[in-house]
């Protein structure tokens, strides 16, 4: 089974990010970057599927700067077979531009399955996976929480409002992974050492014209200091009144 | 549960690490956050080693990680190995001790002094955690002076007979194999000390848990008794010879301890910073008071110095030029500074600092053992004194 996993290098979910001087990008100085957590589920799923099939290849593909090689090596350390970096100093904010570059790489690759994380935790767009599916004319299932594959067909469960939805699709297909799909493994120490020796191809990425542009980024407003209304049960009526009248959350 | 740990790196020491070294550190860091920290407080209070973590540690490749791949080990350099020890001890000194003993005091002597058959037989099983080992050097009456040991090994027609007792043995009751050091010649002859691999199910071998510890409570510390323990000829580590051999093992382990202590100090500092920011007294966070700021500034300074110390020590070890005296300096400095930081952190936390829910007091109590084992602070002072003056204070 040949599986592609498209991954993204993102700032650590707990990093304190600052907005750069241009007012529309992040200041990357001193920020730790990690493999997008949802992509970890996609990598893990690919590794498990390959194991189950008994043979195959897991190829990890990323669009990003040179430093994204390290992100690819994290996936290689988990057990993926080889990596491809579509290199560009900056990745456009326009998901479609990224999807076109990825689709160009994936096309004709003979993949049975193309996996993504359901979204990147830096831009929250949920776009690139479905766009790649569209560009490759493949079925797409997003936010997969459970997956079964058999004889060229797949069944996936998705969490939807108030319950689960089960869908069936033919392979090849593009899937985006949700939390709960599996328990991603830690890259073992031997895997980290082996990752250095695995092939990692770097190609320049040529992004087409972008359909959208980031105008400005602003941090969330400072939270106002809290106020203690009183103590014990006696304070409850006053608290309720303030929540209703002042905060207007009830 | 404490929030995810992000390290303490005031001098961008990360910039001095390679990508693999950072990856190794991050993987162990994540594992400790997810698997060790949620349970360690309870294990500590109940006085039990979290045995259930052994398979996960083995799967990551933590045992003997700096030994070659041909024996099922990860083949890491010594800086990466040190970073593993740092992260494990950020969790708990007892768990780091477990890994130190398995790697540096059991797998290392088999690797350094064992025959090819012994290496092939034991090392892969130990790397995979299927066989746990312990190291029997210290005796009830011979701690800082191991050369005085009275455990003996007498050669017979078909093997060896061991008699004696060992004390303060980490992993003693857990182990399937013990590396036991014994005199094969006259009792005053330190040069006759040799190492033996003793399967712990051999008749005459017994291990007893040492009760009543107020430190390293999440670690197995045992007393070993060897009464007419009969071993085949090939139980002997053929290349071991003299007191120097077990001391070489201790140099390996102490190297790891130098890093481990930094981990414990980082845990205490991290907890203290977060507490100082959040705990409000007299209408402001206690971190706004000069006394607490001085505490934190001192901690950060000492941690930063210790980080650079062990990183350079690791580079020397990788270059093959590290001396045991350099290890003494690092062990002595880093464990002492970590103990001081743990104590100051405990005090900064006020009454909360005595609870198992917080880390400082557990680390403090643990570090008192680390201060004493693997060459006490005082003995390392004398090792350095001898190195400086050329004069021995021991005899």
Structural domain spans, chain A: 2-204, 220-250
Torsion, Cα of A40, B70, B252, B367 (10° steps):
30
B88 three-state secondary structure: helix
Radius of gyration of chain A (CA): 21
Q: Which CATH number fits domain B13-127: 3.40.50.300, 3.40.140.10, 1.10.150.20, 1.10.540.10?
A: 1.10.540.10
- The CATH topology of domain B244-389 is Butyryl-CoA Dehydrogenase, subunit A; domain 3 (1.20.140)
- Residue B285, number of CB atoms within 10 A of its CB: 15
Q: Give Dmax over CA atoms of chain A in angstroms.
A: 70
Q: What residues of chain B lie within 8 A of the CB of A74, using their CB?
A: 23
Residue A49: predicted pLDDT: 96
Residue B30: predicted pLDDT: 95
pLDDT < 50: residue spans in chain A? none
Judge whether A158 is closer than 8 Å to chain B, CB to CB: no
Closest CA to A81 of A194, A203, A183: A194
Residue B3: predicted pLDDT: 65
Note whether A192 contacts B60, CB cutoff 8 Å. no
Q: How far is CA B140 from CA B144, B175, B187, B205, in A?
A: 11, 20, 16, 16
> Which CATH number applies to B133-235?
2.40.110.10
- The CATH topology of domain A2-204 is Rossmann fold (3.40.50)
pLDDT < 70: residue spans in chain B? 1-3
Query: How close, in Å, is residue B18 to chain A by CA atoms?
Result: 11
The domain limits of chain B are 13-127, 133-235, 244-389
Residue B167: predicted pLDDT: 97
Give the Cα-Cα-Cα angle B66, A36, B4 (nearest 5 degrees): 65
Residue B216: predicted pLDDT: 97
Q: Which of B36, B59, B60, B80 is the best substitution to test chain A (most A C-beta atoms within 10 A)?
A: B60
- Decide: residue A72, CB within 10 A, 0-12 exposed, 13-18 middle, 19+ buried: buried
Residue A63: predicted pLDDT: 97
Judge whether A135 is closer than 8 Å to chain B, CB to CB: no
Q: What residues of chain B lie within 8 A of the CB of A73, using their CB?
A: 19, 23
Q: What is the pLDDT of residues B81-122, one digit of tens each?
A: 999 999 999 999 999 999 999 999 999 999 999 999 999 999
The residue count for chain B: 395
The pTM of this model reads 0.91
Distance CA A186, CA B30 (A): 8
One fold for both B13-127 and B244-389?
Answer: no
Task: Assess contact for B353 and B344: CB atoms under 8 A.
Answer: no
**Helix, strand, coil shares, percent, chain B, to 5:** 55, 15, 30
B38 is written with which tokens? 């949620």
Residue B1: predicted pLDDT: 44
A72 is written with which tokens? 């690819």
Residues sharing a CB contact under 8 Å with residue A102, sequence separation 6 or more, in sequence order: A6, A61, A63, A86, A128, A132
The count of C-alpha atoms lying within 13 angstroms of the C-alpha of B118, restricted to the half-sphere facing its C-beta, is 25
Distance CA B178, CA B205 (A): 10
The count of C-alpha atoms lying within 13 angstroms of the C-alpha of B234, restricted to the half-sphere facing its C-beta, is 7
Chain B residue with Cα closest to A12: B6
Here the ipTM equals 0.88
The reply to whether B374 belongs to the active site is: yes
């Amino acid at each position: 089974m040949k599986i592609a996993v498209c991954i993204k290098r993102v700032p650590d979910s707990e990093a304190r990010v600052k907005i750069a001087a241009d007012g529309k990008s992040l200041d990357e100085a001193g920020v730790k970057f990690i493999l997008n957590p949802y992509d970890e589920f996609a990598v893990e799923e690919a590794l498990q599927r390959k194991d189950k099939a008994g043979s195959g290849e897991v190829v990890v593909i990323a669009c990003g700067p040179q430093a994204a090689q390290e992100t690819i090596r994290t996936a290689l350390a988990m057990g993926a077979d080889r990596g491809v970096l579509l290199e560009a100093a900056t990745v456009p904010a326009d998901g479609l531009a990224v999807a076109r570059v990825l689709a160009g790489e994936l096309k004709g690759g003979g993949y049975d399955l193309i996996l993504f994380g359901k979204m990147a935790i830096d831009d929250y767009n949920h776009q690139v996976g479905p766009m790649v599916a569209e560009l490759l004319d493949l079925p797409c299932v997003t936010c997969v929480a459970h997956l079964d594959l058999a004889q060229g067909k797949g069944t996936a469960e998705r969490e939807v409002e108030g319950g689960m939805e089960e869908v069936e699709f033919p392979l090849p297909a593009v899937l985006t992974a949700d939390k709960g799909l599996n328990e991603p493994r830690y890259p073992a120490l031997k895997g980290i050492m082996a990752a250095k020796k695995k092939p990692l191809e770097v190609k320049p990425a040529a992004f087409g014209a972008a359909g959208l542009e980031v105008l400005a980024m602003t941090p969330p407003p400072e939270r106002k200091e809290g106020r203690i209304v009183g103590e014990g049960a006696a304070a409850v009526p006053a608290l309720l009144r303030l929540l209703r009248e002042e905060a207007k959350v009830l | 549960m404490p929030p995810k740990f992000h390290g303490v790196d005031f001098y961008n020491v990360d910039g001095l690490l390679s990508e693999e070294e950072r990856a190794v550190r991050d993987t162990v860091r994540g594992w400790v956050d997810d698997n060790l920290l949620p349970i360690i407080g309870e294990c500590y209070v109940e006085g039990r080693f979290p045995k259930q973590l052994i398979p996960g540690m083995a799967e990551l490749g933590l045992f003997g990680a700096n030994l070659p791949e041909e024996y099922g080990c990860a083949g890491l350099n010594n800086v990466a190995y040190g970073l593993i020890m740092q992260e494990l001890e950020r969790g708990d000194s007892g768990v780091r001790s477990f890994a130190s003993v398995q790697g540096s005091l059991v797998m290392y002597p088999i690797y350094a002094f064992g025959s090819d058959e012994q290496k092939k037989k034991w090392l892969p099983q130990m790397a995979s955690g299927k066989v746990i080992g312990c190291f029997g050097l210290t005796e009830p009456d011979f701690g800082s002076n191991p050369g005085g040991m009275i455990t003996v090994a007498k050669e017979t027609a078909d093997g060896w007979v061991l008699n004696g007792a060992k004390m303060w043995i980490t992993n003693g009751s857990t182990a399937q194999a013990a590396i036991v050091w014994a005199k094969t010649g006259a009792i005053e002859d330190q040069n006759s000390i040799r190492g033996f691999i003793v399967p712990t199910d051999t008749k005459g071998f017994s291990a007893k848990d040492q009760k009543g510890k107020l430190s390293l409570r999440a670690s197995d510390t045992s007393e070993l008794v060897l009464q007419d323990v009969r071993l085949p000829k090939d139980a002997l580590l053929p290349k071991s010879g003299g007191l120097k051999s077990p001391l070489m093992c201790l140099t390996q382990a102490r190297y790891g301890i130098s890093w481990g202590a930094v981990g414990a100090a980082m845990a205490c500092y991290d907890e203290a910073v977060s507490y100082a920011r959040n705990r409000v007294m007299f209408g402001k966070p206690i971190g706004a008071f000069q006394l607490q700021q001085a505490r934190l500034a001192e901690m950060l300074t000492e941690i930063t110095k210790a980080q650079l110390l062990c990183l350079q020590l690791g580079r020397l070890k990788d270059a093959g030029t590290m001396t045991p005296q350099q290890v003494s300096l690092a062990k002595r400095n880093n464990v002492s500074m970590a103990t001081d930081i743990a104590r100051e952190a405990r005090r900064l936390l006020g009454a909360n600092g005595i609870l198992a829910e917080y880390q400082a007091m557990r680390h403090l109590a643990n570090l008192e053992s680390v201060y004493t084992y693997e060459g006490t602070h005082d003995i390392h002072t004398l090792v350095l004194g001898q190195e400086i003056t050329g004069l021995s204070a021991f005899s």
